[in-house]
């Protein structure tokens, strides 16, 4: 499935009923994640939940999380 081919009305419906999860740290500046139907994962900024969520398919999301866990998404030294 190509996430770019999803019906915008379906996406809006999914996001409206989504159960958003955030880190258990209890912070106020979190990334929230929602697991939608059809293997779609949505990410949003908890400070700006009205802004569009970023959508990933399961494979993209797994790769993103693995990159975080492996330290691949850290700012390079000196930047």
19-78 pLDDT, tens digit each: 999 876 666 678 899 999 999 999 999 889 899 999 999 999 999 999 999 999 888 888
Is 2 inside any structural domain?
no
- Rounded CA-CA distance 57/14 in Å is 14
Domain that holds residue 35: 18-79
Average pLDDT, stretch 1-24?
A: 89
Q: Give the total number of structural domains in the chain.
A: 1
Is 64 inside any structural domain?
yes
Is 58 inside any structural domain?
yes
- Rounded CA-CA distance 16/70 in Å is 32
Answer positive or negative: Cα dihedral of 3, 49, 37, 27.
positive
Residue 17 has pLDDT above 90, yes or no: yes
pLDDT class of 4 with cuts at 50, 70, 90: confident
Which residue did the predictor score with more confidence, 10 or 3? Answer: 10
pTM: 0.83
Q: How far is CA 7 from CA 10, 14, 25, in A?
A: 5, 11, 35
């Amino acid at each position: 499935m190509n996430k770019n081919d999803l019906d915008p009305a379906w996406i809006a419906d999914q996001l409206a009923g989504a159960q958003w999860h955030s880190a258990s740290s209890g912070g106020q500046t979190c990334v929230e994640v929602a697991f939608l139907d059809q293997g779609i994962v949505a990410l949003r900024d908890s400070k700006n939940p009205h802004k569009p969520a970023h959508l990933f398919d399961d494979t993209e999301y797994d790769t993103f999380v693995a990159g975080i866990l492996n330290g691949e998404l850290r700012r390079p030294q000196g930047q």
